[in-house]
Amino acid sequence: ASSGLIVSFGEMLIDFVPTVSGVSLAEAPGFIKAPGGAPANVAIAVSRIGGKAAFVGKLGDDEFGRMLAGILKENGVNGEGINFDEGARTALAFVTLRADGEREFMFYRNPSADMLLKPEELNLEVIRSAKIFHYGSISLIVEPCRSAHLKAMQEAKDAGALLSYDPNLRLPLWPSPEEAREQIMSIWEKADLIKVSDVELEFLTGSNKIDDAAAMSLWHPGLKLLLVTLGEDGCRYYTKNFHGSVEGFHVNTVDTTGAGDSFVGALLCQIVDNLSILEDEAKLREVLKFANACGAITTTKKGAIPALPKESEVLHLLNG
Ligand code: ADP
């Protein structure tokens, strides 16, 4: 358990997932609702393992928005920073993993409530009380929410929070790869903590050789910790003074959705009350082992939010 507030900022949405696996969206016989959105997943991940989390973002004033706010509340996430926009609709996504291994997406965001968040609507009280402010939105490019996002990050930093960043790259949502890279790097340069997947690192460096040199090529002077997640192989970590890797756990994986968010939530929760861990390699490795365990457990159940572990499950995997 931790007591410092982790504010996770961005979108919460509903994924509609086919009732059977391995079909295209057009072939799906039906869909089930799976609440998600990386920033919301992170907030719930923190809360499940005993941390203090708030979610800040905008939801539609519709059945889906109310359902999502209810899920945050049930999970103990502070929702004072949620805006409801009259007339705006909650973001929806239709998502499937086809038999050929390709992911197929269709978003309902034209525009959705999260994209309509305005800078003047931000709950600054919640944002300024963050010890760690986590940003992981997929909507960095769209106005008016882009201005709101930039303001929220600045307000949190000015109030003394660490800025944590997960680019959550969804290339099809960007006008061009160049623009995605440029905009992601503009946040990257301000972040204290960054988590990327190996695939994102490949994209950002433009090289398919993912090694320490590639990771370090994206280092910036203010950065305190860079994490590269490697799926079942765990993660690599880089700080100013040391770097290395921490092995993952072998589990019975059924669906990897939310693994990265679970990993981030666990990491933030473990360091929020003691940021000096970032300078202590042995302690940091313990934290990353815990975060790898959280990510691994999340892959053993379908969906993101239902699969996020409680602290007791994590301890069981670590000690079992
Ligand atoms: P993302 O979801 O952001 O793409 P990853 O898939 O690399 O990130 O997963 C994040 C973390 O979750 C990994 O670092 C690892 O600890 C854990 N994880 C992911 N997939 C698996 C898996 N198949 N088996 C065990 N652990 C996993």
Domain count of the chain?
A: 1
Query: What is the number of the ligand 1 atom nearest to the C-alpha of 291?
Result: 16
Best mutation site among 229, 235, 247 for ligand 1 pocket (most ligand atoms within 8 Å of CB): 229
From CA 295, how far away is CA 273, in angstroms rounded?
Answer: 21
User: Which letter does DSSP use for residue 254 in this model?
Assistant: S
* pLDDT of 269 higher than 90: yes
From CA 38, how far away is CA 263, in angstroms rounded?
Answer: 11
Is 45 contained in some domain? yes
The predicted pLDDT at position 105 comes to 86
**Ligand 1 binding site (Cβ under 6 Å of any ligand atom):** 197, 229-232, 234-235, 248-249, 251, 253, 256, 259-260, 263, 292, 295-296, 299
Best mutation site among 95, 168, 170, 232 for ligand 1 pocket (most ligand atoms within 8 Å of CB): 232
* pLDDT of 1 higher than 80: no
The predicted pLDDT at position 194 comes to 98
- CA 128 to chain centroid, in Å, comes to 20
From CA 274, how far away is CA 240, in angstroms rounded?
Answer: 18
Query: What is the number of the ligand 1 atom nearest to the C-alpha of 235?
Result: 14
Q: What is the domain range of residue 288?
A: 5-11+38-87+121-319
Give me ligand 1 centre to Cα 273, in Å: 25
For ligand 1, atom 16, the nearest C-alpha belongs to 292
Q: Are 175 and 187 in contact (CB under 8 A)?
A: no
The predicted model gives 198-225 an average pLDDT of 92
The predicted pLDDT at position 229 comes to 97
Smallest CA-to-CA distance from 307 within 259, 252, 266, 270 is with: 259
Q: Are 168 and 139 in contact (CB under 8 A)?
A: no
Best mutation site among 226, 255, 256, 298 for ligand 1 pocket (most ligand atoms within 8 Å of CB): 256
Q: Looking at the annotation, which residues are catalytic?
A: 261
Is 25 contained in some domain? no
At 139-160, the pLDDT tens digits run 888 899 999 999 999 999 999 9
The predicted pLDDT at position 33 comes to 94
Q: Are 76 and 47 in contact (CB under 8 A)?
A: yes
Query: What is the number of the ligand 1 atom nearest to the C-alpha of 196?
Result: 3
* pLDDT of 190 higher than 80: yes
Is 298 contained in some domain? yes
Is 33 contained in some domain? no
Q: Which residues contact 302 (CB under 8 A, 6 or more apart)?
A: 254, 255, 257
Is 274 contained in some domain? yes
Is 28 contained in some domain? no
| Lowest-pLDDT range of 133-137, 163-167, 204-208 | 204-208
Is 296 contained in some domain? yes
For ligand 1, atom 26, the nearest C-alpha belongs to 296
The predicted model gives 193-205 an average pLDDT of 95
Is 315 contained in some domain? yes
| Inter-helix orientation angle 63-74/38-48, to 10° | 30
CATH number at residue 169: 3.40.1190.20
For ligand 1, atom 13, the nearest C-alpha belongs to 231
* pLDDT of 102 higher than 90: no
